[in-house]
Chain A
Amino acid sequence: MNARNVAGMAALIGVGLPAWAADAPERGGVVMQAMRDELARSVEALQMDRLEKPYFLSYRIDDVTSTQAVANFGALADKSSTRNRFLSIEVRVGSPDLDNTNFMPSRVSGSPATRTLTLPLDDDYRELRRQLWLNTDAAYKYALETIAKKRAALENRSREELPDFVPAEPHLSFADAAALRPPVEPVAELVRTLSRVFRDFPGVQASQTRASHVYRRSYYVNSEGTAFTQARPAVFIEALAKTQADDGTVLQDFEWFHARRLEDLPPVAVLVESVRGMATTLSARRDAPFVDRYSGPVLFEGQAAAELFAQVLAPKLLAVRVPVAEDDRMEGFTASLRNPFQDKIGARVLPRGFSVHDDPTLDSYAGAPLFGGYPIDDDGIPAAPTALVENGVLKGLLATRNPIAGIAGSTGNRRMMGIPLPSNVLVTTSRGMSDEELAEEFKLLIEERGNDYGVVVRRLANPMAKLDRSDAARTPRGEVAVDRLTRAYKVYPDGREEAIRKAELSGVSESDFRDIVATTETTTNYTLGFVPIITYSLAVTTAQYGTAATQPAMSIAVPDLLFEELTLRKPVGNVPLPPVATHPFFD
């Protein structure tokens, strides 16, 4: 049992008390009472005719208040303040050896795993019971249908000799705080101010500034005796901007800011300067030249190093269970889900000296905040650090209670839709250099190769941070999809830098990370909404019925990364014409 400080809010210790005092709001109050009572009744009595009863049942309720504002060119375009209660149920029938999960049905659209179920907002015991009763009934019937289909599919197929569920110790933990409905005006004023910056930039065609302040309280109870509540606020601000060069090339850039609370953000003047800096860089890129093709040393700095790690390597750190497919057509798809890193445990995946840890228990690293942490994961497993890579060798993968060959058990990383996701990923090296040493190493590499210049990348695009989402890297089959390089520079041996208009990586893969030749000793903390594409496909193979539709944040701390050789090319694809008229404000 552990007490944990939840972002400065008072935390309470659950000392394994078996009794649930109905008058103890700090233990989840009426909501938890209704969950517990309906769970007990269902475990006891829920059974369809002579079919099997559930062997596992859990409820999760996420009470989410969200305040959001959007501004364009200095004026508010939208503001909202909403509250929702989302319900997510997990019913398992059969036994831990073989249950209704890890099965990919041939029809996945409309699966209840990805549907949102909402509950009344009032703390009304009777009504919460009614909604839990009706939804449990539906979830149980769905589980029965699924296990019947799975058993039918297994008539003609064998499967990996693995159970479907690992047992877990009961765990009680309660952290609570008064419900918070963040006021919308401060958020609105902030986006107005940041968005007004673009009135000084004739070179920027379109921009959008958005801020959200979300407060989430979660309640969880399962039939193994685990129960917890947790609560966390999150503030997110983004400024997106788009322009076109004279030849029509679409150029985009963004700034993101994360905090737990509005008052934890840097001063407004600092935010304004960041947005101004982004707009300045974006405007300048309109006149920068392209590089047709480049092969040679590439240095990824700060955000670019973190984003590259998140796009290429992070998805490989997740333990993905390949589900039983209902038919041959789905089998081709499920086979492609297999993570090649599952066979590389004990093998070198990074240079010597590199270590990678996932640590949801941290709130900061090297003096800067992290936002991927949590006290307990979605299965009720207490958060704990996991060693993923040590001295360059793969040691483990992030897992849920869904067993994977070669992985010991849950690492407490179930965060969304039943899938393991990273929390705070810390990439460290034993041989980090000072910035000057790295610059010298970079220069030596350039000269060794006989190149005129090397390339440094300071900003790698993120697929979610775009006004124009059609502007994405076109990845040939078989290549890892890496987004476009938005801030890349030629660096000459004399230290001179020259911006590149836009570029993309050619044929990069996780094995390129073994050829990192040098890193800095300092790291950059970067936070992003990390949802690998497989998540949605795999959600339907879990027992989850209903989702809170969240996108959890992942933080990553990574040093600057110097690659000995990567290939860059001019982006391929159609280029739209520039606008006919100029921006009316600057006309």
Chain B
Amino acid sequence: MRTPAIRTVLTGLALATATAVADSDEPPVLVALNAELARSMEILGERPEPPYFLSYEVTEQDSAAASASFGTLTYSYQRRSRFLDVDLRVGDYDLDNSRPIRNARRPRRTFTRVPIEDDVDAIRSVLWNRTDATYKQALQQLTRVRTDIEVKVDAEDQSADFSREKAQSSVDRPARLAVDLPDWEAKVRRYTAPFGAYGEIYRASASLTGSTETRWFVNSEGAAIQTSEVRYRLSISATTKADDGMTLPRYESFSSFTPDGLPDDETVLATVERMIADLNALRDAPVVEPYTGPAILSGRASGVFFHEILGHRVEGHRQKRVDEGQTFKKKIDEQILPAGFTVSFDPTRRTLRDIDLVGAYAYDNQGVPAQRVDVVQDGVFKNFLMSRTPIEGFSNSNGHGRKQTGYQVVARQSNLIVEVDNPLTREELKARLMSLLEEQDKPFGLLFEDIQGGVTTTGRFMPNAFNVQPILVYRIYPDGREELVRGVDLIGTPLTTLSRVTAADDQIAVFNGICGAESGGVPVAAASPAVLVSQIEVQKKSKSQERAPILPAPFDETPVHTDGEEAAE
């Protein structure tokens, strides 16, 4: 069983500049990787069970962050790290040590730190140790795989373990993060100060993060790739509590590839004021009981909804594992959404409606170029997201082999984009909802305006279901009145829910977040117009049993101490 989740990441914005640095000869990290790769293949090649494939990937994170709570600094730092991932395969492309052992635990995450200085000898010493350990594990694992094949029933999916792909060479110019930490610190203090006036808001924080991720990838098929990308993010989060103990959060985040892409102070402070107003309103909002009926999901809510119910189920490797639900494995060329709906995954697309998409990349973690994949065309199911693990009928990667450093690659989502041929306006969509209310004789419908994230299980043991966690939900009454409510999660099962998607509007919105699954956390985007679902189900949200604080906020009853007015330093 696995529980992939999309969630907002509370890291932040930036006013840093990325300046490109001219590269001269081959980058030292690539020199070290290539030299040790050649030496390892030569020496290990003389063993009775030699590796047929070896790849190294070094991921460097050059990051800076500042975070504040209620106008005061909670942390700020700058740090560089480099981690190594080794993929060493024994056996051959058809059958190797990567084949999952049926009903076995998945491999654990391994961290290998690599020197952050470009010292070829020091880097090679780490590569050597890790290669040796990985080779020995691979031999042991291949023996287990061969035994598993002997003792278990024949696998349903007889496809190979590793696809053959053309080796790529590409050296991107390294991006550099220039950070003005005192300026970042001042900004996050400014953004969180307004929350300080409210004793009922128990948590309020903002963080501003900038990070350059540089990756070096080489493999024994001849690939040599260097990519470098800067990202900035501002996240703001605040929490209050209703009288019944329910924790009520609000999140806002902004992501960008450039510092200019983040909103200015005025825009951010307006967002903060809106968050405060929402929190105050949420505290008094009525609780919704479990309910089924028609609903409109805003663009961001729909994005996460499709990410959970469709996206996780079209990840290629899930069609092969025997403990997976394999919802869409036999649905190729079947209608699963209304005509006119297209769902694609496009890591080559970097912006949509002026919003940067964080699921963009040039090469995946197996050195395969990023590609757009149309999973649903005109409502008809067409394709899967593929890593270099082939499945029946799909023998090659389409550039979606992804992972967080330390994990093993599987097929993952990138930028999910939902498009419709003949969109309605928001008013038309609401009118459709009204007629559904009448048809179904329901007292109200629901509008999911903003969500926190979602979660789904795709396995066979637990029910194959999803849960999207909304933050702002409104009841829409037949007379058009909208009322803020709280206390429910949107739930359902994939095929039933997809079959109830009826229409979409023209208001495309983007959710940028981090998706967590068996290969770790990877940045993904989900972009969609608002959709109308003829029938959804909501269940009660899990709720804290802690009461609100006994004493009032200290500054609500005592005169404010003068020391507190100015932050020191």
In the bound complex, CA of A216 to CA of B308 (Å): 46
In the bound complex, CA of A130 to CA of B568 (Å): 17
Residue of B nearest to A83 (CB): B75
Q: How far is the CB of A200 from chain B (nearest CB, A)?
A: 13
User: What mask results when residues 391 to 414 of chain A are scored 1 for a CB within 8 Å of chain B, else 0?
Assistant: 000000000000000000000000
Whether B549 pairs with A120 at a CB distance below 8 angstroms is no
In the bound complex, CA of A74 to CA of B115 (Å): 9
Which one of B116, B126, B132, B568 contacts A124 once the chains associate, using CB atoms below 8 Å? B568
Which one of A128, A137, A206, A580 contacts B551 once the chains associate, using CB atoms below 8 Å? A137
Take A38-B554, A77-B114 as given contacts and tell me if A124 and B121 are in contact as well, using a CB distance cutoff of 8 Å.
no
> Other than the known A70-B113, A75-B119, A585-B124, what 11 A-B pairs have Cβ atoms closer than 8 Å?
A42-B551, A73-B121, A74-B122, A78-B116, A83-B75, A121-B75, A130-B555, A579-B132, A580-B43, A584-B39, A587-B39
List the interface of chain A (C-beta within 8 A of B): 22, 30, 33, 37-38, 41-42, 45-48, 70-84, 118-130, 132-134, 137-138, 140-141, 199, 205-206, 576-577, 579-581, 583-585, 587
Report the 9 A-B pairs with minimum CB-CB distance, sorted nearest first.
A125-B564, A126-B564, A75-B122, A120-B72, A75-B115, A75-B119, A123-B568, A125-B563, A122-B72
In the bound complex, CA of A118 to CA of B74 (Å): 8
Q: How far is the CB of A111 from chain B (nearest CB, A)?
A: 16
15 contacts between A and B (CB under 8 A): A22-B563, A72-B113, A75-B123, A76-B115, A79-B79, A79-B80, A84-B75, A133-B551, A141-B547, A206-B125, A579-B129, A580-B44, A584-B124, A585-B124, A585-B125
In the bound complex, CA of A199 to CA of B125 (Å): 10
Residue of A nearest to B47 (CB): A580
Take A122-B73, A134-B549 as given contacts and tell me if A76 and B121 are in contact as well, using a CB distance cutoff of 8 Å.
no
Which residues of B lie under 8 Å from residue A577 when comparing CB positions? 136
Q: How far is the CB of A192 from chain B (nearest CB, A)?
A: 8
User: What mask results when residues 120 to 147 of chain B are scored 1 for a CB within 8 Å of chain A, else 0?
Assistant: 0111111111011001100000000000
Which residues of B lie under 8 Å from residue A76 when comparing CB positions? 115-117
Residue of B nearest to A192 (CB): B117
Which one of B68, B202, B561 contacts A125 once the chains associate, using CB atoms below 8 Å? B561
Q: How far is the CB of A264 from chain B (nearest CB, A)?
A: 27
Whether A122 pairs with B39 at a CB distance below 8 angstroms is no
Q: How far is the CB of B113 from chain A (nearest CB, A)?
A: 5
Which residues of A lie under 8 Å from residue B82 when comparing CB positions? 77
Which residues of B lie under 8 Å from residue A30 when comparing CB positions? 563-564, 568
Whether B77 pairs with A121 at a CB distance below 8 angstroms is no
Q: How far is the CB of A206 from chain B (nearest CB, A)?
A: 5
Which residues of B lie under 8 Å from residue A70 when comparing CB positions? 113
Q: How far is the CB of A372 from chain B (nearest CB, A)?
A: 30
Which residues of B lie under 8 Å from residue A129 when comparing CB positions? 554-555, 561, 564
Which residues of A lie under 8 Å from residue B564 when comparing CB positions? 30, 124-129
Which residues of B lie under 8 Å from residue A47 when comparing CB positions? 550
In the bound complex, CA of A205 to CA of B39 (Å): 17
In the bound complex, CA of A562 to CA of B444 (Å): 86
Which residues of A lie under 8 Å from residue B44 when comparing CB positions? 580-581
In the bound complex, CA of A47 to CA of B551 (Å): 8
Q: How far is the CB of A489 from chain B (nearest CB, A)?
A: 29
- Among the interface residues A33, A125, A128, which one has the most CB atoms of the partner chain B within 10 A? A125
Q: How far is the CB of B28 from chain A (nearest CB, A)?
A: 11
Take A33-B563, A124-B564 as given contacts and tell me if A133 and B554 are in contact as well, using a CB distance cutoff of 8 Å.
yes
Counting CB contacts under 8 A, is B36 at the interface? yes
Whether A206 pairs with B129 at a CB distance below 8 angstroms is yes
Which one of B40, B189, B549 contacts A137 once the chains associate, using CB atoms below 8 Å? B549
In the bound complex, CA of A333 to CA of B564 (Å): 48
Which residues of A lie under 8 Å from residue B123 when comparing CB positions? 75
Which residues of B lie under 8 Å from residue A71 when comparing CB positions? 115
Counting CB contacts under 8 A, is B553 at the interface? yes
Whether B128 pairs with A77 at a CB distance below 8 angstroms is no
In the bound complex, CA of A42 to CA of B560 (Å): 17
Which residues of A lie under 8 Å from residue B71 when comparing CB positions? 124, 127
Whether A73 pairs with B567 at a CB distance below 8 angstroms is no
Whether B77 pairs with A81 at a CB distance below 8 angstroms is yes
